[in-house]
Structure 1
Amino acid sequence: MLSTRGASWAKISFNHGYQNSYDPVSNPNGVWLVQDDLAQFINTHCQFDKICCTYGEGFTGTIRLRNATAKHLNAHFKPAQSIDPEQITYAAGVTGLNEVCALVTCNPYSNDSILLGRPIYGSFSKDLTMRTGVTLEYVDVGDTDQFSVDCVAAYEAGFEAAKARGINIRALLICNPHNPLGQCYPRETLIGLMRLCASKGIHIISDEIYALSVYKWDDDNRPSEKFTSIREIDPTGIIDPRQVHVLYGMSKDFGACGMRLGCIISQNTEFTNATRAICRFSSPSQFAMEIAAKILEDQEYVTGLLEKSHRLLLHGRLVAEDLLAKANISFHKKGNAGFFLWLDLAPYLPLDETNGDAWAAERLLSKRFTAAGVIMATGEAYSAANPGRFRLIFSLREYAVREGRVFWDNDLGDVVLRVDLPGRRW
């Protein structure tokens, strides 16, 4: 009864309905989630005009919101050339804009592909391919530091290997700050990647949705990484600025994924026009844009919110690290951005139950987590090179993190952690 593509889409998982929010009293078996500060600001400051009940100014972001966003980005991203509101296009979340990037840079069903490093944000595999006819080409940097300038050679090798197989790489997509490793790309690495894209004639797309969720270590023995936006680098003599695009949104730095607002920033007029034409299929709510504009216009509030967020993120990270260390569970210790830790649970994979198939063992362990009320993204979902990796969210209040203590149960032969759903925070 369905088309071939419809039948294939029907097999893809999605979130729908009640998400089992954690409460220590009323629902100790669920997952905790609340955004008190943001909700208070919205309820205090927002009285909507009847214009919000109409199509307003169309499908791509109100003038007021784009002006507020440009001022926000110019203040916090420190771009080499000021970001103009006309460079900004809004849609109902960055998810839709990920797809748009694939649609406007790649030809469908023609071996066109987007290059990514591994591991990387798991939903790219759906966002970029599900409706686009585009493939993804993953690069494994091996023992090379994924964030050092040495990684550029690995990306070039990946590009050439794909080319030899008849794959046309049309864009490089990076997460900066990185999801799931929580690190920031240094300036010299970004320049190296920009030069690579210039030499290959491809776009570079920088997902900077965690840009302002970078906290500082309070330990002198643990140097803090600094976020550098790709727009902070003067492209003169490096790359045509029309090949450089940035993704940003309200869901992470502001804990407002329910607002469904994301934007792409580009100095490429043709790219922007194509994006805006497609965004009629994922236009943002006039109410959401009104709320976001009020938030971004109040930079005093934004500064205070981000300062509090950084304090809580640092505290949550330290609590989670302490609990993991006591349980002798290894994790990626570098980085100071985002809401997550990249765990190595390879020693706990039930290999004897899967005839030694490590990826099957990872899937089995994930099913056991889910049965225990635990949701963690798997290494397989994040295109990890080796099985046994899981992404742990630590952006919870301390009582929830401690309730989610990690322990080894010899009777069950399983690891049980209570964690937040991916993308959720206070």
Structure 2
Amino acid sequence: MADLGFFRAWADDERMEALYSSSVLNDHTLAKLWLPALHWSTHGLRYHPDGTFVQAWPPSLLLSRDELPRRFERRGIEPVPVVIDHLLTALVQAHELVTPSELLERCNAKSKLGWFVDVAVKRPMRWGWASLWHAIAAEDDSRLSHDSPYLSLPTLASLATHVHAYALSTHEPLARVFCLGPDHVTCATKDHAFHMLCRAASRHDEASPPAQFLAAVAADELDYIAFYLVYTKRAVMQAGLIKLVVLDATADAIGDGDRTVLLLYHTISTVETALATLQARVAAVAEKALEAKRRGSAAEALALWRHAKTLQADVDQRQNALVNLLSTKHQLGAMSAQATILEGYKLAAESLRSVRASLHLSTDAVAETLADWSDVMDEQRHMDDLLTAHADYNVDEAALEMELLSLAPPSPSPVAVSTAAGQAEPVTAATPPPAPAAAPRTLEGISK
């Protein structure tokens, strides 16, 4: 919140003087700083120069022309009324403010045709006639009347989104029908009143601004959240009841089944309350019987004890009835879960069917493709057999083996490899040693 441009200029006296003066009427930049601050003021916080926010008044969805100047008091100075009038007019033209009566009128325009006529015909005509009248009367924006308070639509939208998300995450579809209106103020089932739903939503994500707002806002302003949910097609309302639905889903009207379920919840709550009261009476009568016994009044003690037993029998009967009602409630929850599962199966089937169609998958296509593949493989095997048959030369394997064995092995090379030098050097083959010289022959017949 402190990041709003309006509060960044809070310490600048000259800037704030311009923001609080009629200069805003002719300066679009100054007006642009003001507009978010007006919506921020619905939270009931007051800004201090040290950057802190203090709760100064209860949060409210309503913006009043008379109250707004006091919300922005600075050093005893308030913005001039003409500034507030100009800003309210700008927000109305931007469709960020609406009167409570206009919101209710939009809520009642349930059909699409009624909504289109209201948005495209009625509202432009009303605004056009008003603008034409003020133009003829030579009136400007500062002369327009803002007597009725306005609802801040951005704030209302954030609260409605918070409540709607909480209800959808914590309540089964059958339990999303709530009591609304003065006819249900005294309903025993407070957990199924729309106001109590809003208070319960304030305990969800408590640090968030919507949760803090819901915890402190006045109860009579919670109805505006219901009207806005109906207007934005996230709920339907009928005869003091409101039913929350999923956004963009078909908004079914509140039927007899919804009323029956809500009546069952009311009955369970009523029986539980009556049972607790009766149990307290049994305990009180039993205590009186014991007290009479201690006093020695046997007749009184016996009568009181008989009365306690009668009440206890009634307690047992109501407990059995409550068990049956709670069992029915559990069965309803189980049926709701089964319906959700069935819807999931439907979505899964539609998804598979859609994907299969996009991939052109079908039983006939698969059978045709496999048959085509089988024919191609048979044809290929036939071609291989034909080629193998024509490549047979009737070679005598035994003759080939004998010819291979008859080949002489290759002679070793006379070249030795020198590992020291890394080069091949020629080495002369070793020559056999010379034969020893023959001894000289002695000639016979020669004398020494």
**Fold similarity call, TM over 0.5:** no
Select the structure that is richer in helix.
2
The structure with the largest alpha-carbon Rg is 2
